[in-house]
Amino acid sequence: MADPRRVEIEDLVNRPGTYFNPQTEILVVVDDSPELDSEIFNMEEFEGADWVLISDEVPIDENRRDELLEAFQVHYHPGVAGDDGDETPDELEEDHQEAGRE
């Protein structure tokens, strides 16, 4: 059975979440909630462009990011696929939130 946490780059851009590449040590956050006026991209210079850089700033709460990474490290154990560690990212986040309430 394939590891549900391993995602191809083509697939991750279509699924909101927080992803990390251990080889490049790059963290990617996919957020599908923003809405931009699509009329601004109807100009010829943007035709065929896959991505447009909006800002060099990183609009993520660093503390929350660190909490998510820590929760992943606590719950994920390499080589133990198929054990009771098969929780989905949503279940991991719920576990983390419940732990914060205690």
Tokens of 75: 């719950």
Q: Name the β-bridge partners of 26.
A: 21
Residue keyed to tokens 């309430």? 101
pLDDT at 88: 54
Sequence-distant (6+) residues with CB within 8 A of 30 are 12, 13, 15, 16, 17, 18, 19
The residue that leads in pLDDT, 100 or 53, is: 53
- The residue among 60, 42, 61, 62 whose CA lies nearest residue 52 is 42
pLDDT tens digit string along 7-37? Answer: 888 888 888 889 999 899 998 888 888 787 7
What is the CB-side half-sphere exposure of residue 71 using CA atoms within 13 A? 21
Confirm whether pTM is higher than 0.85.
no
Question: Which tens digits make up the pLDDT trace of 62-101?
Answer: 898 899 889 988 887 665 544 444 555 555 555 545 555 5
From the CA atom positions of the chain, what is the Rg in Å? 17
